[in-house]
Amino acid sequence: MNKFVYLLLAIIAGIVIYRYRYRVVNALLSVRILQKWFVRSSMSVPFVRNAMISQILR
């Protein structure tokens, strides 16, 4: 019974986060430290870095 309750809560939380995903992302990226971490981690991916550099140097 306890596992069922946790599973049900996880499903409900997933649905709520999916429904309000853009608000959640905006709230997370409004934190300066998380914003810096996201940019650093995304720029370490070669495809993303090359796409960004090609857009900047156009």
Write out pLDDT tens, residues 14-58.
Answer: 999 999 999 989 999 999 999 999 989 989 999 988 988 888 887
Q: Check the CA dihedral 7-8-9-11 and report its sign.
A: positive
pTM above 0.85, yes or no: no
Q: Check the CA dihedral 26-13-34-39 and report its sign.
A: negative
User: Which range marks the domain in which residue 39 is found?
Assistant: 2-56
Contacts for 28 with CB less than 8 Å, ≥ 6 apart: 34
Cα–Cα distance, 25 to 4 (Å, whole number): 29
Into how many domains does the chain fold?
Answer: 1
